[in-house]
């Protein structure tokens, strides 16, 4: 009976899990540096690899790490005083600068009601009394309801897949995917990489 409850719960947990994959037996405190591998271009966007690679170095530097680029195309990030070295690989899974977004909207003209009140007072010369007359007019506009219309705009979307492996043992120690959207491609790239580097940084805290 217990198995009957456990199996669906386990499957549900697996299907909903989209967090990072971390090798919990790996000791991240022994890491001294991370070598950033060359990032290949996305199939449809020449130059995208260099942009992401530069953004990785830039963001590591921004977070206060020392970045060494002694060899062209091979950045090395200093993490701590440990002896172990990790290798960071990045694959660009999406690099789109014009993804079409459809915005469906509902428009409702609720109509209006306006009431005009006319009031006049006339004083009679023979008597001390004043006569007051008033009239009101109400206009109602039923309005109109329309729905199902839509507009469109384009936005940029960048998605990357990162993985880190121990250079000596070849063990995969961490992997995760990230994506970000923006109206501008450079902003989407920077925010996506920034989020990734921030997650990597947390491993060494």
Partner 1 sequence: MIRLFIILIFSGIILAGPNDALFKASSAMKAGMYQEALSHIAIAQKTDKNNADLYRMKALLHEALDESKPALSAWNDCLKYSKDKFLSSEAKIHIQILTIE
Cα separation values, 130 from 120, 134, 136, Å: 10, 13, 20
Q: Which two tokens stand for residue 148?
A: 């199902």
Q: Which is nearer to partner 1, 174 or 180 (CB)?
A: 180
Among the listed residues 37, 40, 177, 182, the single contact to partner 1 using CB under 8 A? 182
Give the span between the Cα atoms of 102 and 205, in whole angstroms: 42
The two most distant CA atoms of the chain are separated, in Å, by: 116
Beta bridge partners of residue 151, listed in sequence order:
103
Q: Which two tokens stand for residue 110?
A: 């609720």
Among the listed residues 83, 140, 149, 171, the single contact to partner 1 using CB under 8 A? 149
Q: Which two tokens stand for residue 68?
A: 């060494």
Tell me the window of 33-41, 84-92, 134-142, 189-197 that interacts with partner 1 (CB under 8 A).
189-197
Interface with partner 1: number of residues (CB under 8 A):
26
Residues 79-108 that bind partner 1 (CB under 8 A): 101, 103-108
Q: In angstroms, what is the minimal distance from the CB of 98 to partner 1?
A: 11
Q: Which is nearer to partner 1, 69 or 108 (CB)?
A: 108
Give the span between the Cα atoms of 83 and 144, in whole angstroms: 72
Nearest alpha carbon to residue 173 among 35, 37, 26:
26
Among the listed residues 35, 58, 62, 187, the single contact to partner 1 using CB under 8 A? 187
Residues 154-173 that bind partner 1 (CB under 8 A): 154-155
Q: Burial, 55: exposed, middle or buried (Cβ in 10 Å; 0-12, 13-18, 19+)?
A: buried
Cα separation values, 43 from 7, 51, 161, Å: 40, 14, 15
* 40 binds partner 1 per the rule CB under 8 A: no
Tell me the window of 33-41, 54-62, 70-78, 180-188 that interacts with partner 1 (CB under 8 A).
180-188
Three-state DSSP at 82 gives coil
* 180 binds partner 1 per the rule CB under 8 A: yes
Among the listed residues 146, 168, 169, 202, the single contact to partner 1 using CB under 8 A? 146
* 70 binds partner 1 per the rule CB under 8 A: no
Contacts to partner 1 by CB under 8 A? 101, 103-109, 146, 149, 151-155, 179-184, 187, 191, 194-195, 198
């Amino acid at each position: 009976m217990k198995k009957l409850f456990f199996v669906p719960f386990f499957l549900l947990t697996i299907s909903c899990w989209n967090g990072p994959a971390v090798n919990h037996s790996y000791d991240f405190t022994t890491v001294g540096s991370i070598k950033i591998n060359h990032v290949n271009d996305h199939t449809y966007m020449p130059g995208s690899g260099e942009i992401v690679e530069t953004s990785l170095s830039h963001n590591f530097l921004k977070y206060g790490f020392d970045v060494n680029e002694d060899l062209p195309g091979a950045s090395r990030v200093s993490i701590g005083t440990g002896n172990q070295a990790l290798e960071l690989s990045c694959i660009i899974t999406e690099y789109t600068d014009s993804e079409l977004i459809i915005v469906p909207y509902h428009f409702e003209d609720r109509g209006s009601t306006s009431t005009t009140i006319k009031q006049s007072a006339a004083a009679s010369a023979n008597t001390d009394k004043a006569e007051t007359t008033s009239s009101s007019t109400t206009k109602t506009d039923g309005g109109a309801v329309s729905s199902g219309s839509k507009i469109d705009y384009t936005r940029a979307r960048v998605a990357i897949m990162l993985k880190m492996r121990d250079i000596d043992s070849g063990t995969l120690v961490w992997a995760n995917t990230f994506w970000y959207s923006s109206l501008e491609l450079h902003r989407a790239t920077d925010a996506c990489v920034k989020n990734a580097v921030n997650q990597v940084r947390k491993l060494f805290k």
